[in-house]
Structure 1
Amino acid sequence: MTDLAMAVVAANGKVGSAVVREAVGRGIDVTAVVRHQNTTPAQHVLIKDLFDLTAADLKPFDVVVDAFGAFKLEELPEHMTSLKHLADALSYSKTRLLVVGGAGSLYINPEHTQELKDTPDFPQAAYPLSKIMSRSLEQLRLREEVRWTYVSPAANFVADGPRTGKYLLRGEEYSTNENGESTISYADYAIGMVDEAVSGDHIHQRISLIGE
């Protein structure tokens, strides 16, 4: 049991709902922020569009998890505008912002000048989304007045994968486990996200999570 108060934005989505389930299972007080009827086990519900959220809406929470996702080509810019909106609402606030990020922006060299999305084998279908999410991260890095943490998953992010209860915490660079794999289930990613919500160990940092 913990006194942490968490809001999960876009809680009805696959990643958002996984985070809600994990957090509720640990006794965390969770509010699902959804546009329509809540489908998660969160104890509280705020029915409101992300773009209508205000600083007052988010003030009661210790942590806000941004699980927003847009995948249609014409909607991809909303990754930038939605993150900016949340960052603006949390500007100079004690509330931490944890962002469900992407793997495409992970660096592949020690100098941090090349990203996974720019490698020859990166799936071209995923490139537009990865590009806009990378730009979103760049903008987030400039927000020193926001207590943000950006959490990238492994390259293979498996929606229906099992909850093994294990994950590896890594940093800014693309990495693999001892089997040479970069993969993690939504359920195990949610464990890492909730661990970070509880600890607050990586403010103003991007971290990555991969499965053992």
Structure 2
Amino acid sequence: MDTPGFPPESRPFCVAHQAGLDVLRASRADWLYVSPAGDFDHNGDRSGHYRVAAHLHPEDRISYADFAIPLIDEAVDGRHPHEHLLISSS
């Protein structure tokens, strides 16, 4: 959020989501927090692949169809409990 090129109009949204993530991290709940790439493309085609990243750039993208894949993978396998996953296809 504090990097050059980050859209200032997105900051309040991201600050609020960070606060929610902080609440989850402090809880005893079983949780997974998943964030799509900055270019979350509802018209994009399904490529069938995705990557989990430590950091994303605003220009990274993922289609809705590709974003569904890690959600299903996690629902079935649950490999990332208590983690924040950043998902991109680029």
Quote the RMSD (CA, aligned, Å).
1.5
TM-score (norm 2): 0.87
Residue by residue over 1:66-116, the C-alpha shift from the partner in whole angstroms, topping out at 9 and shown as x without a partner, is xxxxxxxxxxxxxxxxxxxxxxxxxxxxxxxxxxxxxxxxxxxxxxxxxxx
Alignment of 1:30-179 (within 5 A): 117-143=1-27, 145-170=28-53, 173-175=54-56
**Relative contact order, higher structure (CA 8 A, sep 6+):** 2
CA distance in 1, matches of 2:2, 2:40: 18
Q: Which runs of 4+ in 1 moved over 2 A?
A: none
| Letter of the structure 2 residue corresponding to residue 139 of structure 1 | V
1:151-185 Cα offsets, whole Å, 9 max, x none, are 11112111221111111123xx3146xxxx51111
How many pairs align? 89
Q: Which has the higher helix share?
A: 2
CA distance in 2, matches of 1:123, 1:196: 30
Structure 1: 5+ residue stretches without partners: 1-116
* CA distance in structure 2 between the partners assigned to 1:207 and 1:120 by the alignment: 22
Report the structure number with the largest CA radius of gyration: 1
Structure 1 equivalent of residue 63 of structure 2: 185
Residue 142 (structure 1) shift: 0.7
Unaligned runs of 5+ in 2: none
- Could you tell me the percent identity over the aligned residues? 39
